[in-house]
Amino acid sequence: MKKALLLLTCSLFGFHSNAQRTQKPVLHAKHWMAITGKPLGATAGAKIFNQGGNAVDAACAMLGATCTMWDVLSWGGETQALIYNPNTKKVLGINALGVAPSGATPEFYLSKGMKYPPQYGPLAAVTPGTPGGLMTMLAEYGTMSLKEVLAPAMELAQGYPIEAEAIRRIKPHVDKIKSWPYSKKVFLTHPGETIEVPSPGEIFVQEDLYNMLNKLVETEGTALRNGKNRKEAIYAAYDRFYKGDIAAEIARSTQEQGGLITKEDLANWKLYIEEPVSTNYKGIEVYKLTTWVQGPVMLQALNMMEQLDVDCMSYNTTKYMHALYQVMNMTFADRDFYYGDPYYAPAEPIKGLLSKEYAIERVKQINWDKNTENVKPGDPYPFQEGVNPYKHLIEKWYADDKTATSFINIDPDQEFPDDEMYNGTTSIQAADADGWIVSITPSGGWIPACIAGTTGVGLSQRAQSFVLREEENPFNVIEPGKRPRATLTPSMALKDGKPYLSFAVQGGDSQDQNLLQFFLNIVEFDMNVQEAAEAANINSFQMRGSFAEHELKNGSLLIHESTPPWTRKQLREMGYKLQTSSRTSGPINAIFFDWKQGSMWGGSSNHGEDYGIGW
């Protein structure tokens, strides 16, 4: 097949990585690497490595630490992970996303006049997944005890110097926090004073959370003394969280505050250890979690980019930006209609979506002269020998305003507010000399979180990612026991059968956009891992957002402020509405495996407080 961009003139000048200077240095290590969203979180991972733990142990410690520090997540959130097991030489997935509670039906929310489940509060909560994810990963693939791995988090819960970033998130939500009695007790450390929130560097104590974590450790200790082995003892703590007194308090307090979670919801919650989905891009196997998150979007995009003559395009030229934007528009339209919980009917057409032939067909539909605003989902069913049962809904994709998406007009060339895009989650990367690799994108229960009673656990807000009407997405309609289609998307890649990259990013709907460009920066433009993490990206908002009112911003394109005026002019002429920012890469954290030198290269974003340590 002829490449779709052969009609475009190749540029004489490409990207030259050795001409770049990064704001943060690339990390180098031989024995281990620990990277996450907070310096103290990375330190927790380093402590575990220095105590002899493997990458799974260290990742669990970093997860516990960042949850305790409210790094845009907490203990009531969700954990999505990819783990490379060097013994099997396989990548496996961890599905620790919470589920909609009893009574969480479309009729319930619609009866309250809602277009979607709310953005905050107890009615936004799905069941906690992170505790189960952490304990399962540790039990199945770690080497240490829960007591050892939770030690950094427990020390932080007893009091740590709170950072300005967390306080910045508390301040706008003081009134909302005051409406939840247990949240008020935790976050407003100076009640009745002129400034009720903590100040930077103040020792922030979470006594209830410490007591909850201590209950888990005590349960593990009792099980060990009763003759249980390491794995069995960890699962005893798991049962106490989901079936014992901790579960009872979560259910009681959530219902007290107007939520729906029951003890039965917690007891029935189940974690899945899964086989991830993958695609091959020019000899590199790229792995993502399946349709319960947006991960396959990147695989679909790579299948489409593989049909284009990327060698003929220069980094971040008008041609390249337009190609990326159109590819992402199509893949996100598919996400918005076809992705949902694969453990619930109807079955997502993932085989067709990831078909190379489907990608070829989608590329044929790209208009190379201007932006196509009203992109509809494609039809993957013929590429998996099926008939699309939802064609009638796709035909009305923009015709029915009950598809409830707000079309937002923006001022051209306005400065982009970083919070609007990069809020949400953290990322965790860990690797060791024995070959264990972990990539996690945990999230949920961020500030302002409704805290569940005396557990100290901030409840998730992930129910807002469901839809209430079939015509928006027949695969993602809320239902008790079902997982919402989340944005969270860890990534791994293998080359020649060996680990090549482990990478993740925070930032809601932007995640797979930034990860796609990060990957192409390394593979196509010869950047090292830190250069690729900091490099200027573009971001599209021409998808149905996953949060709050699920907004759509047709034609909106975020570009780096250094984009030259002639490129901006060309983009405007193609129908784009431009926004600019000084940093457009997202907070990417990543590890590159250099088999020739026998070392690891770490990239840690220059976007915020992300931090890495290697040895």
Q: pTM of this prediction?
A: 0.95
3-class DSSP assignment, residue 167:
helix
223-252: burial string, b at 16+ Cβ within 10 Å, e else: bbeeeeebeebbbbbbebbbbbebbebbbb
Smallest Cα–Cα separation from 22: which of 517, 563, 602, 559? 602
Residue 375 DSSP one-character state = P
Residue 364 has pLDDT above 80, yes or no: yes
Residue 14 has pLDDT above 60, yes or no: no
CB neighbour list of residue 569: distance below 8 Å, 6 or more residues apart: none
In this prediction, residue 413 carries a pLDDT of: 52
**Tokens 């009729």, located at residue:** 107
In this prediction, residue 608 carries a pLDDT of: 84
> What angle, rounded to 10 degrees, do the helices at 55-68 and 39-50 form?
150
Q: Could you tell me what percent of the chain has a pLDDT over 90?
A: 88
Strand runs labelled E in 159-267: 160-161, 203-204
Strand runs labelled E in 99-243: 160-161, 203-204
Q: Tell me the mean pLDDT in the region 353-363.
A: 98
Residue 524 has pLDDT above 80, yes or no: yes
Each residue's pLDDT tens digit, 65-105: 999 999 999 999 999 999 999 999 999 999 999 999 999 99
Confidence class for position 313, pLDDT limits 50, 70, 90:
confident
Alpha-carbon span 122 to 253, nearest angstrom: 10
Residue 27 has pLDDT above 70, yes or no: yes
Q: Tell me the mean pLDDT in the region 119-141.
A: 98
The answer to whether 507 and 446 have CB atoms below 8 angstroms apart is no
Residue 454 has pLDDT above 90, yes or no: yes
In this prediction, residue 586 carries a pLDDT of: 87
Each residue's pLDDT tens digit, 261-311: 999 999 999 999 999 999 999 999 999 999 999 999 999 999 999 999 988
Residue 11 has pLDDT above 70, yes or no: no
> Dihedral of CA 206/208/488/422: which sign?
negative
Average pLDDT taken over every residue of the chain:
93
Each residue's pLDDT tens digit, 143-188: 999 999 999 999 999 999 999 999 999 999 999 999 999 999 999 9
Confidence class for position 9, pLDDT limits 50, 70, 90:
very low
Residue 107, classified by CB atoms within 10 Å of its CB into exposed (0-12), middle (13-18) or buried (19+), is exposed
Q: Could you tell me what percent of the chain has a pLDDT over 70?
A: 93
Per the structure block, which two tokens stand in for 523?
Answer: 């593979």
Confidence class for position 424, pLDDT limits 50, 70, 90:
low
